[in-house]
Amino acid sequence: MKRAVVCGAGGFIASHLVKRLKRDGYWVRGVDIKDPEFAPSQADEFRLLDLRDMDQCREAVKPAADGPIDEVYQLAAEMGGMGFISTAECEIMRNSALINVNMPQAAAEAGIKRYFLSSSVCIYRDMAIGEAEMSEDEAYPAHPDNEYGWEKLFAERVAFAYGRRYSMAVRVARFQNCYGPEGTWTGGREKAPAAICRKVAEADDGGFIEVWGDGTAVRSYTYVDDLVDGIVRLMRSDLEVPANIGSPEYVSVRELVDTVIGHSGKQVEVRYIPGPVGVQSRNFSNARIYSLGWQARTALREGIGVTYQWVEQQVRDRLATAGNGQRSAEAGEQ
């Protein structure tokens, strides 16, 4: 039986990854600074640790009762949508960087054989609509749009440096936007799909929602189960270079919003307002991850249907708890 440590297991993608590794027969230790928000962790052991601290990173990778840890999946980060990313630059640059300098050191000291790092397509420069596909190598010369992207690029380099020094197999995935149930949907760190689902779920039939930007920005959204499958395939592969993982279905924000509204069965007017939207366009090669037999299996329409239902239920539960029909007060982040 393989033993894995999943960092960030109190969060969205890593909690789904824990479920997948358990299904694959692993013994799993989940680590996070907070407990999972929506469902108890399925990890065999869940440790509350602050991975900015070196000693706590050492604690995270210490052997399990019946043997050493084989694999570390590092997904812990200061994470959020564009609203968060544009206002929490210092937290991102400091906290995520501390995690990503300490964890490879702790993993190398512990003799970990395989180390996974979750990077992001935010490491790439902005693109024009209609521009040809960009490959992983075109990350350089680097010109990320925001500090979150710069920290990820630095984290990739740290991980690979430790991999070279300590013969630890390092695997790096650059995720496109990920969405699905049990992701942050309120509070300021939610990303566009969950934020739009929440706004539509909260809107009256015949009412309106506000969305940042003019709706023309182009993105691809990857359903969480597909992304997790990509992580697992990459980790078990011989691919020693970063790999993009994302759905090839690129849509405008307007199309995303219309898909959500379509699932709601409501008439909802959309008002596009100024706000932090990030880059204009994305179009990335998936050739590397495709070479491992991976492909996104969930169409946006299908995945948004599942996600909308889940967010709608959260909104209903919150209204029931509040008992007074109060709507969420926060502006909503995308």
Of 269 and 330, the one with the shorter C-beta distance to ligand NAD is 330
Of 184 and 334, the one with the shorter C-beta distance to ligand NAD is 184
C-alpha to C-alpha distances, 183 to 13, 91, 274, nearest whole angstrom: 8, 20, 25
Task: List alpha helices for the chain, DSSP H.
Answer: 12-23, 54-60, 82-87, 89-91, 97-109, 147-166, 192-202, 224-235, 253-264, 287-290, 300-322
- Chain residue at closest Cβ approach to ligand NAD: 11
* 85, 99, 110, 217: which one binds ligand NAD (CB under 6 A): 99
For 70, list phi and psi in degrees, rounded to 5. -90, -40
Of 193 and 213, the one with the shorter C-beta distance to ligand NAD is 193
Residue 53 to residue 321: CA distance in whole angstroms: 37
Cβ atoms of 147 and 297 closer than 8 Å: no
Size of the site for ligand NAD (CB under 6 A): 26
Using a 10 angstrom Cβ sphere, with 0-12 exposed, 13-18 middle and 19 or more buried, the burial of residue 243 is buried
Q: Which stretch binds ligand NAD (CB under 6 A): 6-14, 200-208, 269-277, 301-309?
A: 6-14
Amino acid sitting at position 30? G
Min dist CB 172 to ligand NAD, Å, is 11
- Tell whether residue 230 is a contact of ligand NAD (CB under 6 A): no
* 191, 233, 263, 282: which one binds ligand NAD (CB under 6 A): 191
List binders of ligand NAD among 277-306 (CB under 6 A): none
Min dist CB 73 to ligand NAD, Å, is 10
The catalytic site residues sit at 148
List binders of ligand NAD among 197-216 (CB under 6 A): none
What b/e sequence results for 133-148 when a residue is b if at least 16 CB atoms lie within 10 Å of its CB, and e otherwise? ebebeebeeeebbbbb
- Tell whether residue 192 is a contact of ligand NAD (CB under 6 A): no
Q: Which of 85, 99, 75 minimizes the C-alpha distance to 15?
A: 75
- Tell whether residue 54 is a contact of ligand NAD (CB under 6 A): no
**Interacting residues toward ligand NAD by CB under 6 A:** 8, 10-14, 32-34, 50-52, 75-79, 95, 99, 118, 120, 175, 177-178, 184, 191
